Structure 1
Amino acid sequence: MTPNAAPTSAGPSRRSFLASTAVVTAAVAGGMPLLAACGGEQEDRKEGATSGKEARKLLPAFVASSVVTPDLPAKNGSASGFTRAIPAAELKTSVPAKLGSGGALQVMSPFWGTPPKGDNPYYKAMNEAVGVQVTWQNQDGVTYDQKLGAVLASDTVPDVVVVPGWNLMGRIPSAINAKFADLGPYLSGDKVKDYPNLAAVPTEAWQRGIFGGQLRAVPMPAPSITDIAPLYRKDLLDEEGWTPPTSPDEFLSWAKEATDARSKRWACDDMKWTAFNVFGVLSGSDKALWWNLEDGKLVNRVETDAYLEALEWTRKLYAAKVVHPDAVQGKAGGEAGNRFTAGEVLVYNQNISDWWGKTAEQRTQRDDFEMAAFDIFGADGGDPTLWAVQPANIFTFISRKATEQQVKDFLALCNFCAAPYGTKEFMLTAYGVEGTDYTIEDGLPVKTTQGINEVNGAYDYTGNPAPYIAYPDLPDVTRGMVEWQQRMGAFTKKSSFFGLTVTEPNRWSNLADDFEQLEDDVVRGRKKISDVQQAVSDWRARGGDGLRDWYRKLLDDNGTAK
C-alpha cells in the first residue's frame, strides 16, 4: 500500500490470495480527504492508544489452529503458504456446529465494482451455513470515506460496519468510540475459545482492534513484513544475462545499461517506495509508525538522514532518465503494472500480490512470462533494515445498540469466515456454491462468470484467518512470495508504536499531509532536498514538536505493544 493512500489493488481482500482464471483489478483513489465532524460524540473520544498491561486484559487468548497444516509454515512474520488445492474429500471442518441463531444483521462495507443482487445463491448459502441472515449494504469503495462519514454522523448506523484503516481520519475515530460496541465481554481472554477460528487470529492483529480503551473491532490480519516488493521481469533479465542488482550504486549502473528509449524499454518505474526500504526509512503506511524511539529520543521518519538519502537516490534515477516517461509525468498506480507487463519497464514496486496477479493474467496469453521479486538490499549493499507494517489495517465493528444475541450472531459470522484454507467453511466463503459459482478443472477450483461477479468483496471483511498465501494454480509463485517474505522478515524490526491503533489529536491530524506531494516533486527534480529540510523545520514549528511530546507521553504512560 502506498504511504497515505488507499490500496491500488482491487478491493483489498484476503480472498485475493486464491486461484482463479480471471484477474480483476480496479484502481482505488489516492489519499482520502478529512471528513466532516461526526456529530456530538466528542466526549466519547479517547486519544492515544492502549498497550502494555491494560491491553493484555482486553486481548483474546491465542490458540493456534491445528485443523490444516500449511505446506510453508509462517516464519519471521511471513504468511503461511499452501501450494496445492485441497480435494473435496480432504477438506476439514472447523465449525462443527452452526453458531448463528437465525437472526438478521445489516452489514455496510466497501465494494469495488458492481455489487451483486442480494438474493444470489452465494449469499443464500452463506446465510444458511452460518445461521445468520446478512443483508449487505455495499458502498462504492472509491468514495467509501464520504459515505462512512455521513453514516457515522447520523443517528442511523447499520448493525455492522467495515472501516478500512486508511479511512481512520478526521472524526472517524471519535465516531468509532461512540457508535460501536465493546467486544471484550465476548472475546477477551479465554472467552474467545467459544469461537476457535477467531482464537487463531494472531494477538498482534487483535491489538489493532482496540479503540478508545476497548476491544471494539474484529481485524483483518496481515503479515507485518513490508507489502511493497521490487518486482522484476525475470524472463527479460535472463534473456539479457542480467542478475538483479544488489546495491543502490549497482542498481543505477545496471539501469543505465538496461534503458533503451529508442526501443521503448526503461529500467524501472517510480522506485520511491523501494528506496525507503533500501535506506531503512521508518514505515510510512501508518502515522504511528512514522515515530520510533532512538537513543532516548522520539524521531519521526521525515527527520532522518535515511529519508533524505532515499529521496536523493530516487532523484538520481529520474535524472539519469532510466525511469519510464509516464512515471515522470506522475502516471503511476495501476498503469505501472501495465507498463511492466508490456515490457516497457523491467522493474516496478507494488504490493507483492501483483506477483500472482500479473503472472496469472499474462499466462493466459503466453507461457514464457516470468516475474519475481528481488531481495531488498541495504544502503551499502549489505543487509537492509526494514520496518514492520501494521499487522491489520481493515476493521469490522458492530453497533453499540446491538442486542447481546446480535453480537453473538456477528461473532458467529466472523468465526465462520475466519476458517483456514483447506476447510469446508473456507471453500464456501471463498468460492461459493460448487456448480454455480465455481467448477473443478484439472483439480483446481475455477470461478464461473457468476462466481466472479458474486463471490467478491463481502464476507472478506467479516473474519479472516492468520495471514496465508494460497495460489494452487501457480505453486511456484506461492512459494516465491512466502520465501521472499521469510527472507525479508529476518531483517524487519518493529518500531515503537507497532501494533497500536493510535488516535492522534485533531489539531495535528493533517500536519504531514503535504509531504507525499513534496517527495514526488523532489524525485522528479521539481523541488530540492533543501525544500524537504525546510518543510521539516516548518512541520516542527507548526506542531511536529508538540506531537512528538504527545507521542512520548503516550509511550511513557503505556509502553509498547511489542
Structure 2
Amino acid sequence: MTPNSATSAAPSRRSFLASTAVAAAAVAGGVPLLSACGGSQEGRKEGTTSGKDAQKILPTFVASSVVAPDIPAKNGAPAGFTTAIATADLKTSVPKKLGSGGKLKVMSPFWGTPPKGDNPYYTAMNEAVGVDVTWQNQDGVTYDQKLGAVLASSDIPDVVVVPGWNLMGKIPSAINAKFADLGPYLSGDKVKDYPNLAAVPSEAWQRGIFGGQLRAIPFPAPYVTDIAPMYRRDIFKEKGYSVPTSPDEFLSWAKEATDAKSKVWACDDMKWTAFNVYGVFPGSDKALWWNLVDGKLVNRVETEEYLEALEWTRKLYAADVVHPDAVSGKAGGDARNRFTAGQSLVFNGNISAWWGSVSEQATQNSDFDMAAFDIFGPDGGDPALWAVQPANIFTFVSKKATEQQIKDFLALCNYCAAPYGTKEFMLTAYGVEGTDYEMKKGLPVKTTAGVNEVNGAYDYTGNPAPYTAYPDFPEVTKGMVEWMQRMGAFTKKTSFFGLTVTEPNRWANLADNFEQLEDDVVRGRKKISDVQQAVSDWKSKGGDGLRDWYKKLLDDTGSAN
C-alpha cells in the first residue's frame, strides 16, 4: 500500500500483511484458518459464550459521531471516506491523555526489518497516549512458534498480539490461563470511559470472548465477503463485452474473450468466486463450515453447492480460458500482475487490490480501468452469500498485569481506535508530519522513514469500526464500499458466526486435505467423485462425531445471531 491511503477493510490501515503471501492469503480466505479461538480443547461453553450470557459481557455499543463518513456503513460493509481532511480540520477524539506514564511491553508479529525502538514515531505515540510502550517485534513468518514458546513459559510480556491463523494447538487453552479478563473494565457501560472502543461493533467484541470472558481487544473487520471478482473495465469497453450475469454467461464470454496466441485469457483461478456464486458456507474459519439446515448441522463439504462450485470452476479450466500460470498453480500474488498486464481479464482476490492496482497503474498506464462485478446466483438471480468472521486478530494483556497497566493498555487501545478524520488517527496511521509524512496536494504521503517505521505496530492495539479511505482515488473508494454494501444485502450468517470455537484435538486436522483436493479437481487432476469419497471418509473418520460435538455446543450456548 502506498502511503497516502488507508483502509481497515483490508488486513490493516497500511496492509500489514503485504509482505507475506501466506498470511495475506489466510486473511483473504485462500488458506483455511484452522482454528478459531476458545476455551479448553473439549470446550463446551468456554470461548463460545453467546446469547444471554454474552449480553452480560459485551461492551455497550455507542457509535462514533466525531467524524461523519462520506458513505455511511450498512449491510455489514465498511463506511467510506472519499475525501482527505485538511490538518486544520482534524477532529479530536481523545480530549485528554488517559495513560499514566507507565510502561508496557508488547509482543507482536512483524514482517520485514523492525524499526529501532526509539524512532520518532514510537516516541510521539508514547507521548500522545501517555504510555511508554516497548515493542518486542517477532518474525511474522515464524510467529506461531515464538508465540507457542512464550505462552508455555512463565515470562509473558505485558501485552501479546495473536493473529487468528496462529490459534491452533495448545495456544487457545494457554490464552485462558495467561491473559486477563477485561470485562471489569469494558463490559456494559464501563466501555464508555473509552469512547473509541465503545464504537467498535458488538459482533467484533463477541469474537473477543475467550473461555467465557472478554479477554481480547479485537481488530474489527467487515463481515461481508471481501473476495471480489474484478474485471478490466477498459478492455471490456474496448471489446464491447457485457459483464456476465450468470455462470453460463461467464463461461460463454470466457471462451469468446480468450486468445491464447495473443497471450490473453479470460480469467485467473475463480474458485473463491465460485464458492460465493453457488452459496457455499465460508471456508475461512472452521466454525463457519457448519450451519443448521432444517434442524440438522450441515458442513460445507457435504453440500450440493460445494460440488457445483467445483464443477463450474473445473469447466473453466477444461475450456482453457484460465491463465496457464494459474493452471500450474502459480495463483496467489501473481494473479494481480497477470491482470494488470492484460494477460487475464478477470481475477478474484481481496477487494483492496482494486485500489492497489489503480494506484500502481496510474503512473504506468493512463488507460487502465477496473471494477468489481456483482456476484450472481447459480441461475443468474440474486446470490446467497454468507458472512465471514467480524474480527480475526486479537490483542491480550497478561494476567500478571497490574490494574494500572490494564488501564494503560486500554488507554493505548482507545487512542489507536480513533476514527478517520481525527488527530489521533493521523498520528497512529501516518506518524509525525515532516518526519514520517509530508502533505502533497492535500494528501499525506509517507517519507522513507514513515514507510519503514509507521508499520505493523499500533495497528494491533486498537482499530476503529471497519472503514475504507482512499482519498487519492475517491471513485475507487466509492466503488469498493458500494460493492460490499450491495453484496451485504444478500449476506446471511451461519450458526457459528461471531463465535470463537476451538475444535477438539482429535478432530483438528480432519479436513486439512480438502483445499488441495479442491485445487486438484478444478484443474482436472482429480474427479468430483474423489471429493464425494473424501467426504464419505471425512464423515466416518470423525466428521459425524464432530457434527454431534458442534450440535451440543450450539444447544448449550445458542447462536450469536
TM-score, normalised by the number of residues in structure 1: 0.94
- What is the deviation of 1:46? 6.6
1:380 corresponds to 2:395: no
Pair 493,451 (structure 1): closer, same or farther in 2 beyond 3 Å:
same
| 2:61 paired residue number | 62
Match of 2:22 among 28, 42, 47: 28
1:175–1:24 CA distance, 2 compared to 1 (3 A): closer
Q: Which amino acid aligns with 1:295?
A: D
Q: Report Cα offsets for 1:330-362 as digits up to 9, x if no partner.
A: 111101111111111111110111111111111
1:297-312 to 2 correspondences below 5 Å: 297-312=296-311
**2:444 aligned partner:** 445
The aligned runs of 1:121-132 (5 Å cut-off) are 121-132=120-131
Distance 1:123 1:228 in 2: 34
CA distance in 2, matches of 1:349, 1:104: 44
Hey, what does 2:12 align to over in structure 1?
14
SS in 1 for 2:549: helix
Give the match's secondary structure for 1:14: coil
Deviation at 1:543, TM superposition (A): 0.8
Alpha-carbon distance, 1:109 to partner: 1.1
* Residue aligning to 1:481: 480
Q: Following the alignment from structure 1 to structure 2, what is the Cα–Cα distance between the partners of residues 159 and 141?
A: 19
CA distance in 2, matches of 1:304, 1:345: 31
CA distance 1:407–1:45, shift in 2 (3 Å) = farther
Does 1:348 pair with 2:347?
yes
Opposite residue 16 of structure 1, the aligned amino acid is R
Quote the residue 1:523 is aligned against: 522
Please state whether the residue corresponding to 2:48 is helix, strand or coil. coil
Checking the alignment, whether the CA contact within 8 Å between 2:224 and 2:386 is kept in structure 1 is yes
Moved more, 146-155 or 399-408: 146-155
Contact 2:158 2:398 in 1 (8 A): yes
Distance 1:150 1:269 in 2: 40
- Corresponding position of 1:93: 92
Structure 1 residue 26: Cα displacement: 4.3
**Cα offsets for 1:3-54 (capped at 9, x unmatched):** xxxxxx9996431389xxxx9654235659999xxxxx98999756111111
In structure 1, distance between residues paired with 2:288 and 2:254 = 31
Deviations 1:378-399 (A, max 9, x none): 0000000000001111111011
**Which aligned segments of 4 or more residues in structure 1 are displaced greater than 6 angstroms?**
9-12, 32-35, 41-46
State how far apart, in whole Å, the 1-side matches of 2:182 and 2:385 are.
Answer: 34
RMSD: 2.0
Within a 5 Å distance, the mapping from 1:336-485 to structure 2 comes to: 336-485=335-484
Q: CA deviation at 1:99?
A: 0.4
How far apart are 1:466 and its partner, in Å? 0.5
The answer for unaligned runs of 5 or more in structure 2 is: 1-6
Inter-CA distance 42–354: structure 2 relative to 1 (3 Å threshold): closer
- The residue type equivalent to 1:443 in the other structure is G
**Counterpart in the other structure of 2:113:** 114
Q: What corresponds to 2:277 in structure 1?
A: 278
On the 8 A contact 2:41/2:502 being kept in 1, the answer is no
- Which residue of structure 1 aligns with residue 179 of structure 2? 180
Q: Distance in 1 between matches of 2:235 and 2:395?
A: 43
Amino acid at match of 1:175: A
What is the aligned partner in structure 2 of residue 201 from structure 1? 200
Mark the runs of 5 or more structure 1 residues left unpaired by the alignment.
1-8, 36-40
Q: Contact (CA 8 Å) 1:278, 1:310: kept in 2 or not?
A: yes
Contact preservation (8 Å) 2:265, 2:322: yes
Deviation at 1:323, TM superposition (A): 0.6
Contact 2:8–2:221 under 8 Å retained in 1: no
Q: Is the 8 A contact 1:292 1:497 kept in 2?
A: yes
Higher mean displacement: 106-115 or 535-544: 106-115
> SS where residue 459 of structure 1 aligns?
coil
- In structure 1, what is the equivalent of residue 242 of structure 2? 243
| Partner residue, 1:269 | 268
Equivalent AA in structure 2 for residue 469 of structure 1: T
Q: Which amino acid aligns with 1:14?
A: S
Deviates more, 1:122-131 or 1:108-117: 108-117
CA distance in 2, matches of 1:44, 1:54: 16
Equivalent residue letter for 1:267: A
* Native 8 Å contact 1:45 1:178 kept in 2: no
Matching residue's letter, 1:162: V
Contact 2:247 2:378 in 1 (8 A): yes
Q: Is the CA contact (8 Å cut-off) linking 2:47 and 2:209 kept in structure 1?
A: no
User: Would you say how many aligned residue pairs link Structure 1 and Structure 2?
Assistant: 545
Of 409-418 and 137-146, the range deviating more from structure 2:
137-146
- Decide whether aligned partners of structure 1 residues 445 and 55 sit closer, same or farther in structure 2, where only a CA change above 3 A counts: same
Q: How big is each residue's C-alpha offset from its partner over 1:410-430, in whole Å with a ceiling of 9 and x where there is no partner? A: 000000000000000000000
Q: CA separation in 2, counterparts of 1:28 and 1:539?
A: 26
Q: Report the secondary structure of 1:412's partner residue.
A: helix
TM-score (norm 2): 0.94
Report the Cα offset of residue 241 of structure 1.
1.0
Alpha carbons of structure 1 residues 158 and 11: separation in structure 2 relative to 1, 3 Å: farther
Q: Percent identity?
A: 80
In the TM superposition, residue 556 of structure 1 has moved relative to its aligned partner by 1.0
Contact 2:33–2:284 (CA<8 Å) still a contact in 1? Answer: no
What does residue 545 of structure 2 align with? 546
Letter in 2 for 1:292: N
What is the CA–CA distance in structure 2 between the aligned matches of 1:327 and 1:459, rounded to whole Å?
36
1:234 positional shift: 1.0
CA distance in 1, matches of 2:164, 2:148: 14
